[in-house]
Amino acid sequence: MLLGSALHTGGAERVMAHLVRNLDPARYRVTVCHLMNRGKIGDELADDGFDVVGVPRERRPLLRYLTYRNLQRVLAERRVDLIHTHSHYAVSDATLCRMLTPQRFKLVHTFHFGNYPHIPRRYRWIEWAGTRAADRLVAVGVEQAKAVRATYDLAAGRVGVIVNGAELGTGSVDPEWTRRLVGTGKVVIGTICTFIEQKGLPHLLQAAARLKQQGVPATFVIVGDGHLRSSIEDRCRADGLADDVLFTGHVDRAAARVLPLFDIFFQPSLWEAMSMVIVEAMAAGKPVVATDVGDNRHVVVDGATGYVVAKGDIAAMADALARLVADPGQRRSFGEAAVCRYREKYTVSSMVNSYDQLYSDLLMS
């Protein structure tokens, strides 16, 4: 069982989708289980015939910790041998099931949160219990593993690392955005993200303003939606960037439909664990400019596949972007090196094989 809170469009959900789609069906009978809303990824998996089941979490505070009883019934019905959890609530309910049910199963937990030790107190206690109950703990990046070990006082060998794998997916390039971006004479600098504080979008606008002041011929494209979108758009207009920064809104399969139109991928995040979209950009042959958060310094080779700059350093962001805008040859060579690095380290098949080996070792122990 792959168990998460919801199955929307985040990194944890995409890891779960890659696993259920690529694990060998001759060896594994996989159930994808969610504790809250099913979401878009869950709908797609269900439509494709995969076993997707909901165990709604009790929303009343006094009953919230009794959701595990509903999960127990699903475990018994499907005779689950191994649970792989992907959220705080998921590992909490799996831990309670392990403590309070006669059914025996192995428990794996993957950490997806990218800002340890700055985790809300209620989640910290929930996840702490899971770190003691799980048979295996997995971080998605080297830096995240260090932070998790420090946050929960875990031994060095207690947390393994399996990096996220990504792929471009299917879908044709969006004709509307092709028309708007191709042939303008400007270099397209793009990002794909949710409009939340983590993604550092005010810094993107500041970098865009600096490039405009310097006369650098660039257009910025932000793909996505979220609760900060209206405030970011308001700030964009107030800063006189309405003609320089374009907002697409949410685009299904954006990595296939819009990302290929970018000349440079830019991620000014304030924190990350291990960014899936950066890997997608590398797979698409795009040079990357990213902040030095999470595993970005390990994924992007500074000066070879892109540039890694300090978070919040607007001057460094603008300088790195300006260098790439001015040098088509460097963009091409960085993009080619990025594709090679993606194929060597960050494919979906590599990630799935690593989890397959972990499952096999655990089930045979």
The predicted-structure confidence for 328-361, as pLDDT tens digits, reads as follows 999 999 999 999 999 999 999 999 999 999 999 9
Task: Write out pLDDT tens, residues 47-66.
Answer: 999 999 998 766 665 556 67
Residue that is written with structure tokens 């199955």 in the block: 7
CA distance 285 to 263: 9
Report the CATH number of the 2-165+347-364 domain: 3.40.50.2000
pLDDT number for residue 237: 97
Pairing of strands 306-309, 288-291: parallel
Residue 105: other Cβ atoms inside 10 A: 17
pLDDT number for residue 265: 98
pLDDT number for residue 60: 65
Residue 43: other Cβ atoms inside 10 A: 12
Q: Domain ranges in the chain?
A: 2-165+347-364, 175-345
| Residue 185, token pair as written in the block | 């004479």
CA distance 173 to 169: 12
pLDDT number for residue 100: 86
Confidence of residue 136 (pLDDT cuts 50, 70, 90): very high
Task: Write out pLDDT tens, residues 149-204.
Answer: 999 999 989 999 999 999 987 778 999 999 999 988 999 999 999 999 999 999 99
State which fold the 175-345 domain adopts.
Rossmann fold (3.40.50)
Q: Confirm if 130 and 94 have CB atoms less than 8 A apart.
A: yes
pLDDT number for residue 229: 97
Confidence of residue 44 (pLDDT cuts 50, 70, 90): very high
Query: Are 2-165+347-364 and 175-345 in the same CATH fold?
Result: yes
pLDDT number for residue 101: 78
Q: What integer best gives the mean pLDDT of the chain?
A: 94
pTM over 0.85: yes
- Give the CB-side neighbour count of residue 309, counting CA atoms within 13 A: 23
pLDDT number for residue 122: 85
91-105, 213-227, 261-275: range with lowest mean pLDDT: 91-105
Task: Write out pLDDT tens, residues 82-101.
Answer: 999 999 999 999 999 998 87
Q: Using CA atoms in the order 53, 273, 122, 71, what is the torsion angle rounded to 10 degrees?
A: 20
Task: Write out pLDDT tens, residues 279-326.
Answer: 999 999 999 999 999 999 999 999 999 999 999 999 999 999 999 999
pLDDT number for residue 193: 96
